[in-house]
Amino acid sequence: MSGSGGTGGGVGPTTDSDLANALADLENSYAASPAGIARDLSALGVASVVQTEVETVAVDLCVSSFDPAVVLTWFSQQRVVLTWMIVGPVQRLLDYAGSPQVCSRGASPEEAAAYMAGIRAALPDALPGTDRSQPTDAERVLCEFLGSNAGGEAAKTVLDGLIRAATRGRVDEGEAVALGVQVAGAVCPEALPVARDAFDEYFGSD
């Protein structure tokens, strides 16, 4: 991958090191911790979600054998907006709910599949927009890199990193790439067309 990025927003050229650090920061933000899950869900809802609520819902998920209705009811109460951007947080919530500190067992493959199917069934078909207007420094680096390296291996590399961070390996390839494009649009809305071009190129041989 080339380390010669353009400049954008006065942040200077993007290097391979900048990109690696930004992806590492983004990966850390997607850890299955109640604090991180609460933060991400707060960004998608009207009301603030706090860590203790995530911990309580995780226990309820365990008791209910990981019934997606537990999460969807909670989202309704918290007025969390149901868009494809919640896929990452709800997957991490499932991971946390099945961890030893919460439950005596993790979700079985069948329970995990039913959980995600229930969540996906509640989501709109279209990829929504986002109203996030204050990207973090790490997100600005990703945005600048996407914006200055349209298409090609560089954009694919960025999308692959976003996909790994966002999906934690639980979404099939087609959904993963679509989610990666959505995340790219969330971290920098003006880069979304570039990300969609990369999406088209990713499947260009199909």
> Does the pLDDT value for residue 3 go beyond 60?
no
3-class DSSP assignment, residue 43: helix
- Confidence bin at 9 (pLDDT 50/70/90): very low
- Confidence bin at 126 (pLDDT 50/70/90): very low
pLDDT in tens, 129-180: 444 445 566 666 666 666 665 555 666 666 666 666 555 555 555 566 666 6
Least confident range from 16-20, 41-45, 73-77: namely: 16-20
Residues 6+ apart with CB under 8 A from 141: 11, 14, 18, 19, 21, 22
**pLDDT averaged over the chain?**
71
DSSP one-letter code for 130: -
Model's pTM, two decimal places? 0.57
> Does the pLDDT value for residue 20 go beyond 70?
no
- Confidence bin at 44 (pLDDT 50/70/90): confident
More confidently predicted of 17 and 89: 89
What pLDDT, on a 0 to 100 scale, did the predictor assign at position 48? 86
Ordered alpha helix ranges (H), the chain: 16-29, 34-44, 51-63, 68-78, 87-97, 109-121, 137-148, 152-167, 173-187, 192-202
What pLDDT, on a 0 to 100 scale, did the predictor assign at position 79? 82
- Confidence bin at 56 (pLDDT 50/70/90): very high
* Residue 79: exposure state from Cβ atoms within 10 A (0-12, 13-18, ≥19): exposed
- Confidence bin at 8 (pLDDT 50/70/90): very low
Q: What percent of the chain has pLDDT over 90?
A: 22
Q: Give the start-to-end residue ranges of the domains of the chain.
A: 34-121, 134-202
Q: Are 107 and 94 in contact (CB under 8 A)?
A: yes
What pLDDT, on a 0 to 100 scale, did the predictor assign at position 97? 95
